[in-house]
Structure 1
Amino acid sequence: MTSPGTPPAAPAQEQAPTQGTAFSFGTRFAAAMDEHGPLCVGIDPHAALLDAWGLPDTAAGVREFSLRVVEACGPHAAALKPQAAFYERHGSAGIAALEDTLAAARAAGVLTIVDAKRGDIGSTMAAYADAYLRDGSPLAGDALTVNPFLGLGSLDPAAELAADTGRGLFLLCLTSNKEGPDVQHARLARHGRRHDDPDGAQQVTVAAYIASYAAALNALSSPLGSVGLVVGATVGDAVAAAGVDLVAANAPILAPGVGAQGAGAAELAATFGEARGRVCASSSRSILAAGPDATALRAAACAAADDARHALRG
């Protein structure tokens, strides 16, 4: 285990098999974006959408909603991203609905990112990793969102198991909520020295330090690492202001806020610069609002994928 403030040596992610494949998550995710467009469809079965679809606000309604999204949108997106909170609110039956959603996506050959934002320390983090990243776990997708704000070393159990099973992580880095900069733009105190600045002569923002952790883990990966970053598409000049080196991170970037949420081609070019080709637009309600009609859902997903491809790939 590494100490909290020191990014670990990069594991050999490209050699880590998952469920019978020799390809890492980064390789599979890059291929999926090339094939389907840089779009991740969020599955967010919140009460208002369930009602709009004529479904009950129950675990059964959540399951039906989710399976319809997998069937209609899965073939037209690089990945699907079920938000764990909307399943957990229905207790054990809701968790079973999440398991069924992941199983359906797996059967359809669609990559999944479980949006659970887990973060803890020691054996507790190891248990979260076991739940969401272990081969054979019914809650395991292809990647997991994680919260790094308990210290980078706290992520080691998840990073190690993801590398072993060929799965991926997405670390919260620069989020678009108004409270985010209070922590993410803060500069580390002298005791939080960077691995490339052992004397603490320079200060680094929390967000930049998180990106350097991803860079260390992705150093041996090609064409794309398996440890990604969550960076809001609407954060404007925050990437540059916080000193975040997205190019060096070699990371897939999950970007909420593309297209209907406000960020077009010009804004994306300014925000992500030379890393724009690694960005996957994350969209949920703007697509899900087209349901419950399957044809309308497919059309919305295809249109969003085309918009993201145009904005991010030119």
Structure 2
Amino acid sequence: MSGVVPFGARLAAAMDEHGPLCVGIDPHASLLQAWGLRDDVDGLREFSLRVVDALGGRVAAFKPQAAFFERHGSRGLAVLEEVIAAARTAGPAGPGGAGTLTIVDAKRGDIGSTMGAYADAFLADGSPLAGDALTVSPYLGFGSLAPAVELAAATGRGLFVLCLTSNKEGFEVQHARTEVSGQAGPDGVPGGTVAALMAARAAVLNAGAEPMGSVGLVVGATIGDAVAATGTDLVAVNGPLLAPGVGAQGAGERELATTFGDARRNVLASSSRGVLAAGPDPDALVRAARTAAQEAKTALRS
């Protein structure tokens, strides 16, 4: 990927062209059944590639959820590899490259050589599991992500770091205060809540990047005032904000203004079932994606 445009710049261009919508590829057993497909590897492949064929070149990004492929074992992972390869060439040439950007939603996080191995699997040039970006978990300490941060930067890929999630258990860790609250740590980043610390770390990595950096955060659109309550500065992050729960999923203009404030332009709304439920007819999928993209654009860029 030598000389490639950084992920943040490519994503910003794709969001401007297609709207701020990421379509999740989440092959739930119930969705496979609704599409008239079996809950097996053949059904998984048919479902996933139909989504790519219908929406490639029409949305800013795809987000295949790795768990729904892993549940089918090694053959399921082979389908995930097919999906990533298909997205790379799906549709007309897009901003900064061909096809449609892919965010692999694997939420990997570990330490040392194990994190390095995850980085090699999902971020290294030549790896069949490497899309354009990867979701990662920082809850072994943000520094544990160093192998992923370094390899993503070297290959022009991106990361989305879990920060403020919409599950009710998330506050137990994300809202907790660090021992150095109110003081700067050894790297100059001030303490505070864990969520605020994660955002501050991302901001350091994205400093000076235009139009935005390549290290983003996952921030649920339905978390209410959690951003303010935790003192998390999303504007300073200067990176993409992957947000489940926009539009028909529960968050409208008022909720988004509360959650994201002046950072709304960097929000990439994520929709999976809201779009996928319209299938298997490809025209219906396209209409659902266009509607979701327009709803997101209205809510986020008004």
Could you tell me the TM-score, scaled by structure 2's length?
0.94
Q: Does 1:298 align with 2:289?
A: no
Contact 1:51 1:57 in 2 (8 A): yes
Residue 270 of structure 2 aligns to a residue whose secondary structure is strand
Structure 1 partner of 2:5: 23
**Identity of paired residues, percent?**
69
Q: Which runs of 4+ in 1 moved over 3 A?
A: 190-198
* 1:228 paired to 2:216: yes
| Deviation sequence 1:213-264 (CA, Å, 0-9, x none) | 1001101311100000000000111001000001111010000000111100
Query: Which residue matches 1:253?
Result: 241
Alignment pair present for 1:99 and 2:81: yes
Residues 1:168 and 2:150 are matched in the alignment: no
Alignment match, 2:94: none
**Residues 1:134 and 2:121 aligned together:** no
Alignment partner of 2:55 out of 57, 73, 77:
73
Q: Does 1:125 align with 2:115?
A: yes
Contact 1:60 1:97 in 2 (8 A): no
CA distance 1:51–1:125, shift in 2 (3 Å) = same
> For the structure 1 residues 54 and 150, does the alpha-carbon distance in structure 2 shift closer, same or farther, using more than 3 Å as the test?
same
CA distance in structure 1 between the partners assigned to 2:269 and 2:129 by the alignment:
24
User: Structure 1 CA distance, aligned partners of 2:136 and 2:229?
Assistant: 23
Q: 168, 171, 174: which is aligned to 1:178?
A: 168
* Partner residue in 2 for 1:41: 23
Cα distance in 2, alignment partners of residues 152 and 197 from structure 1: 12
- 3-state secondary structure, aligned to 1:75: coil
Kindly state the Cα deviation for residue 74 of structure 1 after the two structures are TM-superposed: 2.4
CA RMSD of aligned residues (A): 1.6
Number of residue pairs the alignment of both structures matches: 294
Residues 303 and 174 from structure 1, CA distance in 2 versus in 1: closer, same or farther, beyond 3 angstroms? same
Decide whether the 8 Å contact of 2:181 with 2:192 is kept in 1. Answer: no
Look up the equivalent residue of 2:200 and give its one-letter code: S
Residue 72 of structure 1, CA deviation: 1.2
**Superposition deviation, residue 21 in structure 1:** 5.1
Distance 2:255 2:63 in 1: 24
Secondary structure of 2:227 counterpart: helix
CA offsets 1:103-158 (integer angstroms, 9 cap, x no match): 00001210000000000000000000000000110000000000000001100000
The code of the aligned residue for 2:291 comes to A
Q: Which residue of 2 aligns with 1:311?
A: 299
Q: Secondary structure at the match of 1:222?
A: coil
Structure 2 distance, partners of 1:114, 1:181, is 25
The CA deviation string for residues 255-288 of structure 1, in whole angstroms up to 9 with x for no partner, is: 0000111100111111101100000100000110
* Counterpart amino acid of residue 114 in structure 2: T
One-letter identity of the residue aligned with 1:267 = E
Mark the CA change 1:252 to 1:191 in structure 2 (over 3 Å): closer, same or farther.
closer
Q: CA deviation at 1:197?
A: 8.7
CA distance in 1, matches of 2:236, 2:162: 17
Any gaps of 5 or more consecutive residues in structure 1? 1-17
Residues 301 and 50 of structure 1: is their aligned pair in 2 closer, same or farther, counting only changes over 3 Å?
Answer: same
Which of 44, 51, 54 is matched with 2:33 structurally?
51
Superposition deviation, residue 22 in structure 1? 2.7
Shift of residue 196, structure 1, vs aligned partner: 7.8
Deviation at 1:60, TM superposition (A): 1.4
